[in-house]
Copies of this chain bind each other. A is one copy, B any other.
Amino acid sequence: MALDDRKKVILQAIVDDYVTTCEPVGSKALIDRHNFTLSSATLRNEMADLEKLGYIEKPHTSAGRIPSDKGYREYVDSLMHIDTISTAEKKDIESRIATGVGEVTDLLKNATNTLSTKTGYVSLAMTPVLKKSYLTQLKLLMIEPGRALVVVVLSAGVVKDKLVRIPNFLTDVQVNEISRAVEKQLSGMPLDEITLITVASSVKNTSIPDSFLNQVLYEAYTAIKQADKLDVYLEGKNRILSIPEFNDVGRAKGLLDTLSDDGMVAGYVNELGTEEITEGDDSYMIRIGQEIALEGLEDCSFITTTYKVGDKISGNIGIIGPKRMEYSKVISQINFVRKTLNDEIKKING
């Protein structure tokens, strides 16, 4: 017994219906809503087959069927057809993303915001993967005696800074000298090759006494390492509470607790490969239910895609919603957001 064409159509209909109603779909209801040339009895037989094949399941004996993870998988892989986005909506998305932007992270914030509002789900973006990136600039800026701002600029266009304490007696001029020396040595160096030793060696030939330098260099080093940290932007977490699946406070809390742990989310997204599905201009990866190895996300689906900064560097944006998600709509939206994001990043990074 295989998944013939008719079964596919039926599965598709089941997923579609379940996605919109959030209620197990039964044979009669299916017939009512679609004009199949089938009786409910035949449909029942087909549904029994689909169940044996593992594509759908029953919450309990006398209920309708809901798609299993495998069913959703089949659906997203070969059954659904991706929506097209109206010009009006494209304009809207573009303007939302391009508004008030100074740097890449602004774009990311705008993008998550847009995605979350448009889809009604939780959206996320991660700063570009920095392991593959290198340092382009490092500046020490004297704020007042004893305090300086370390500004780190990475090849991905990410700018981070950190306020640090320095010895009180260091002068403006000395700080500048250190700044220039360190930058000269380190700029262009991949982040993972930068160690406390590389940093220290950069100031060997300056006129500043070693004793003054240690603290400054250590702070510079930690600032660089801090810039190496992946940042996660999550938007719309509260929307979880509007989703029927998470009507139960305990369940909702489980999910929200996981999502609130930025490190956990970042780590997971980062470990996901990049085996995205590519369809024409679109390109995305979907994780469904149990496929997501994060506590509390068993009933969720996770759609991610990749934006680019230059040729080699990339970051992820994504949507987290219930398995029962409007995949075709969400995918079209996340893809257009990705495209817009890429364009805007090019504008910024020239």
A242: chain B residues at CB < 8 Å are 253
Residue A247 at the chain B interface, CB threshold 8 Å: yes
CA–CA, A137 to B142, complex, Å?
11
* Number of copies of this protein chain within its complex: 2
A252: chain B residues at CB < 8 Å are 241, 249, 252
**Which residues 225-251 of A sit at the B interface, judged by CB distance below 8 A?**
237-238, 241-242, 246-249
A143: chain B residues at CB < 8 Å are 137, 151, 153, 159
Stretch of A52-60, A76-84, A161-169 on the interface side: A161-169
CA–CA, A241 to B256, complex, Å?
10
Return the contact of A149 from the options B136, B151, B247 (Cβ within 8 A). Answer: B151
Return the contact of A146 from the options B159, B241, B246, B350 (Cβ within 8 A). Answer: B350
Residue A139 at the chain B interface, CB threshold 8 Å: yes
A253: chain B residues at CB < 8 Å are 238, 241-242
Return the contact of A163 from the options B102, B163, B248 (Cβ within 8 A). Answer: B102
CA–CA, A323 to B102, complex, Å?
43
The residue of chain B having its C-beta at the shortest distance from the C-beta of A143 within the complex is B153
The residue of chain B having its C-beta at the shortest distance from the C-beta of A244 within the complex is B249
Residue A257 at the chain B interface, CB threshold 8 Å: yes
A139: chain B residues at CB < 8 Å are 141
**Which residues 295-350 of A sit at the B interface, judged by CB distance below 8 A?**
350
A249: chain B residues at CB < 8 Å are 241, 246-249, 252
List the interface of chain A (C-beta within 8 A of B): 102-103, 136-137, 139, 141, 143-144, 146, 149, 151, 153, 159, 161-165, 237-238, 241-242, 246-249, 252-253, 256-257, 260, 350
